Structure 1
């Protein structure tokens, strides 16, 4: 083997030892699953319908990483049970198994709680003959479990663990709508497709040219508009990778090349980001010569899978409108904890009092005359007052500029042009106005902003460091 091959194998071996659950850990997991399953079966026996309980997910397939504490138990009920019965019986079993558990809601309610140090989910679903017959999204999971359980042995499970830890290390693991990365099921399917961890990262590094498509069971030609398409082996109408964002596909490709070129353990276990202080944030702002703006408000009380899509939609709407108004957004981000923040860094913070507005070519008579007449009438009705004259009357030169007549219309090239008052000369003025509610905002974000928000401009964004110092560190020192 070459030196790089030796280094790769040494790193992989060290990471494998670190993430492989030991015998005692596996035994504790088995004992916990057995005890919880027994409780669930006893609770099912008291119901007026039949049912069974199965373990699903990575702990069922042996692909879990040492230290993970998640046990997923699915309680399956007959397909002819109606939705209300499914939910009612499922919660009864869940509370019987986890007396101190709490109810959560995905597509339907389930019970989550803790048992002997493990995080446990008790999820009701339908017992079906085929994944194509699903009545709720969770109904697919037992089919995923069955499919992979028949194909992943202990050696391949170790390869899956390596790929999962690598994706965690580069920030691309997780199908939640905050991360929009690679799910556990997707990770397993990719390793199964390529036959190992190294083969998977080599393919991503060298062979992937999005859109990348896999169809493990040759289901057919269902089309999906995603950068990565993995047709669900149990459901031909579903792309397992649908939630995976383009940047996370690209991130995997970038770091796969990094790993192959310079193998090292910190790609699997990176050091945590050191948060910036308020003074350090202000230093970055001064050094960059830009004007960041931030809307800070109370984070809406919704689950993350609702919150983050709305935050992304909202910051995108704000950024696009600031761009449209000439403030040239460089980058944007959104942060959330107790507070939520829409953060946009601007190259231009202030624009002139007037803006150019082009009309149609003069030879397009009907439209040209309409344009000319509108602005000529506006100018004549306003009179030839100048901004300085209005300022003398109003005492406010900014107000004067906005209230004056247009300059023109005049001809520039072959078309009519006017220079008219700009509605907002600064980004701050726009963000403080009610016009902010005309951009595309998430519904809960819009409600939160209506309740009140803080506008931070320029070096004032340093105030965010107390809550979002790590996020600001990543913003001002970005990596792939």
Structure 2
């Protein structure tokens, strides 16, 4: 191919990407009517919250935070976050008391929810409203709870996001939603709105960001305010994102919070989701298409399709099903992941060789695994120390020499070896035994299992389809 042809192809690719991005931006940019409706509701609630706050505390004030305050919200998003700031000399108990009172005065039909502080949530004219108390501080390094950072984030970005960059943030958010990695909740473990905004600011737009991400070599370290973490110097790492020395955090993507140098904004973002972002960035650059920006949830798996997968794969599926603990997702999913790790480790340690596994939840919760080995012999080999290590060797020998159920001990390659009765010959036996509770389960999951659970093996797992047909479709039809 000639250089002229190569340049022409590159130009066509550029134009294709520009056309796709322009169409996405047209879809995600709120129009003037939508902006006016949001502004009217936000102003009304801010006034109401301000009056209620100053009635209770003369030094209080209110401000709008989040994407609607930073002009980075996507058309159709309906969230308005009102933060009520109280003087730092107020004690936490009084802050919570005043915060809830202001919340209920602002949202008479609202209800209380709990994060680090209790706050009030409600709906007004179709918008989802949060009224959240926090402390008014001079610096984000003085925070007394995580929500205290948010006003600093809003101030920092409002000073740096012009209309063009805000539009690129919306496009980036839609791209991340389309590929399934948007959201810092502990179920998704993806890119938060604040992280997305910082990345677009740091790279100067959507296209420069995805071009850079396509070539990332984690750990990637970005230090927007030159706090000195990037490459161990005081310079930004935007152009050289791979750290030469030890990175300041043990994460694949490290974005030093410009308002708090001791915090990695990307800490929650999993290695898998960083890799997914890279994969789809490359795909978009290679072949720009609108469907990269559209989420693709598969159709629920039918029973015949599931049976076909099971027959074709030749693995043995097993599942533990129990009532899902009554927890918010950010508490539930870490416990499910801990339990998944414990169960898979318990199966592997007993020779059942977990092929792949996942944990899912709705009304019930399930730890699901495919096994490469589902049944083991009635005996297992147990290798002891070398015979020449006298104390340990004699102890091992004496332990098994008089065991009528053991074969041996005998010597193999200079070591004592015995063949002893295996505790569990099938995965079901192990999963239905009390030894399941020794693997390191999440506390609430363990309590739920103590109340009762069922073990499904082989074709019995088709009983999961009614509740988890979509999740099983995602499992058996995986994509990057």
TM-score (norm 1): 0.93
In the alignment, is the contact (CA less than 8 A) between 2:324 and 2:448 conserved in 1?
yes
CA deviations 1:68-98 (Å, max 9, x no partner) are 0000010000110000110000000000010
1:92 aligns to 2:117 (yes or no) = no
Gaps of 5+ in 2: 1-9, 230-246
Give the Cα separation in 2 of the matches to 1:277 and 1:440. 34
Please give the root-mean-square deviation of Cα atoms over the aligned residues, in Å: 1.0
Give the Cα separation in 1 of the matches to 2:327 and 2:228. 38
| Residue 125 of structure 1: how far off its partner (Å) | 0.4
Which residue in the other structure is 1:182 paired with?
A: 191
| Residue 444 of structure 1: how far off its partner (Å) | 0.5
1:110 aligns to 2:119 (yes or no) = yes
Matches within 5 A, 1:9-48: 9-48=18-57
Equivalent position to 1:265, from 272, 286, 290: 290
Give the Cα separation in 2 of the matches to 1:477 and 1:410. 49
In the alignment, is the contact (CA less than 8 A) between 1:282 and 1:461 conserved in 2?
no
In the alignment, is the contact (CA less than 8 A) between 1:168 and 1:268 conserved in 2?
yes
In the alignment, is the contact (CA less than 8 A) between 2:177 and 2:295 conserved in 1?
no
CA deviations 1:1-37 (Å, max 9, x no partner) are 6221121111111111111111110010100101101
In the alignment, is the contact (CA less than 8 A) between 1:279 and 1:462 conserved in 2?
no
Matches within 5 A, 1:75-474: 75-206=84-215, 208-221=216-229, 223-378=248-403, 382=404, 405-474=405-474
In the alignment, is the contact (CA less than 8 A) between 2:62 and 2:82 conserved in 1?
yes
* Secondary structure at 1:171 match in 2: coil
In the alignment, is the contact (CA less than 8 A) between 2:190 and 2:273 conserved in 1?
yes
* Secondary structure at 1:300 match in 2: coil
| Residue 50 of structure 1: how far off its partner (Å) | 2.4
| Residue 361 of structure 1: how far off its partner (Å) | 1.1
Which residue in the other structure is 1:387 paired with?
A: none
CA deviations 1:307-350 (Å, max 9, x no partner) are 00000000111001101111010111011110110111101100
Give the Cα separation in 1 of the matches to 2:154 and 2:394. 70
| Residue 277 of structure 1: how far off its partner (Å) | 1.8
1:66 aligns to 2:75 (yes or no) = yes
CA deviations 1:419-459 (Å, max 9, x no partner) are 10100000000000010000110000000010001111011
Give the Cα separation in 2 of the matches to 1:455 and 1:371. 36
Give the Cα separation in 2 of the matches to 1:374 and 1:52. 73
| Residue 167 of structure 1: how far off its partner (Å) | 0.5
Give the Cα separation in 1 of the matches to 2:148 and 2:208. 31
In the alignment, is the contact (CA less than 8 A) between 2:57 and 2:86 conserved in 1?
no
In the alignment, is the contact (CA less than 8 A) between 1:36 and 1:97 conserved in 2?
yes
Gaps of 5+ in 1: 383-404
Give the Cα separation in 1 of the matches to 2:64 and 2:295. 32
In the alignment, is the contact (CA less than 8 A) between 1:293 and 1:346 conserved in 2?
yes
Give the Cα separation in 2 of the matches to 1:407 and 1:220. 63
In the alignment, is the contact (CA less than 8 A) between 1:322 and 1:328 conserved in 2?
yes
* Secondary structure at 1:65 match in 2: coil
* Secondary structure at 2:56 match in 1: coil
Which residue in the other structure is 2:240 paired with?
A: none
Pair 271,180 (structure 1): closer, same or farther in 2 beyond 3 Å: closer
In the alignment, is the contact (CA less than 8 A) between 1:368 and 1:416 conserved in 2?
yes
Give the Cα separation in 2 of the matches to 1:174 and 1:271. 16
TM-score (norm 2): 0.93
| Residue 180 of structure 1: how far off its partner (Å) | 0.5
Q: Which has the higher contact order (CA 8 A, sep 6+)?
A: 1
| Residue 48 of structure 1: how far off its partner (Å) | 4.0
| Residue 193 of structure 1: how far off its partner (Å) | 0.4
Which residue in the other structure is 1:396 paired with?
A: none
| Residue 292 of structure 1: how far off its partner (Å) | 0.9
Give the Cα separation in 2 of the matches to 1:58 and 1:196. 17
CA deviations 1:263-283 (Å, max 9, x no partner) are 111111133311102332222
User: Highest Rg: 1 or 2?
Assistant: 1
Give the Cα separation in 1 of the matches to 2:169 and 2:57. 41
CA deviations 1:250-308 (Å, max 9, x no partner) are 01001100100011111111333111023322221111111111111111001110000
* Secondary structure at 1:46 match in 2: helix
In the alignment, is the contact (CA less than 8 A) between 1:322 and 1:427 conserved in 2?
yes
